[in-house]
């Protein structure tokens, strides 16, 4: 099957912005939970909790999740009609989540439960995610104060 580039998204994050958010909303606070619930999928929240249990700094992890979700929204907006798009919060928290490949590189997984958890947008999932056999190519890089994410969505064209 021939795959075409359907969408491209990129985002750059100033990591100290996330450091300031962590100072404003300490990790065990309800404010922190409210903040992360606006852009993190439950699978990502589990990974975050694992990092915290190990005593690791989560600033870059949070920045990477945010940048990835922004990339996804921008890339989907490249080919999905506005009237078919779910709200951004549904894309961020229910449609997909960032994990890592065996070698450590980032990858995106689409949540197969999305049509059930967001039934009003089940048709979007069927038409644009599964129907296009969507493949996500994601790259994340960070250096000092900046993190950049780039995403390409490839899939089959409509008939």
Tokens coding 49 = 């909790």
Assess whether pLDDT exceeds 70 at residue 5.
Answer: yes
Asked whether the beta carbons of 1 and 46 are under 8 A apart, the reply is no
Per-residue pLDDT tens over the stretch 57-93? 899 999 999 999 999 999 999 999 999 999 999 999 9
Domain of residue 92 covers 4-155
Residue 131 sits at φ, ψ, to 5 deg, of -65, -25
Tokens 């992890």 belong to which residue?
A: 61
What integer pLDDT is reported at residue 62 of this predicted model?
96
For residue 123, give the 3-state DSSP assignment: helix
The structural domain count of the chain equals: 1
Task: For residue 73, count other CB atoms closer than 10 A to its CB.
Answer: 19
- The overall average pLDDT reported for the chain is 94
CATH number, position 124:
3.90.470.20
Closest to 78 (Cα-Cα) out of 154, 1, 143: 154
């Amino acid at each position: 099957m021939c795959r075409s580039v359907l969408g491209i998204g990129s985002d750059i994050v100033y990591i100290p912005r996330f450091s300031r958010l962590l100072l404003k909303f300490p990790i065990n606070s309800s404010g922190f939970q409210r903040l992360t619930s606006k852009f993190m999928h439950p699978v990502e929240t589990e990974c975050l909790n694992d990092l915290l249990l190990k005593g690791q700094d989560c600033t870059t992890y949070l920045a990477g999740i945010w940048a990835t979700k922004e990339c996804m929204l921008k890339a989907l907006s490249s080919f999905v009609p506005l009237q078919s798009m779910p709200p951004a919060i549904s894309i961020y928290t229910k449609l997909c989540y960032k994990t890592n490949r065996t070698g450590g590189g980032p990858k995106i997984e689409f949540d197969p439960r999305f049509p059930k958890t967001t039934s009003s947008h089940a048709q979007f999932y069927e038409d644009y995610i599964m129907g296009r056999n969507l493949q996500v190519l994601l790259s994340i890089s960070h250096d000092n104060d900046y993190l950049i994410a780039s995403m390409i969505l490839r899939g089959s064209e409509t008939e």
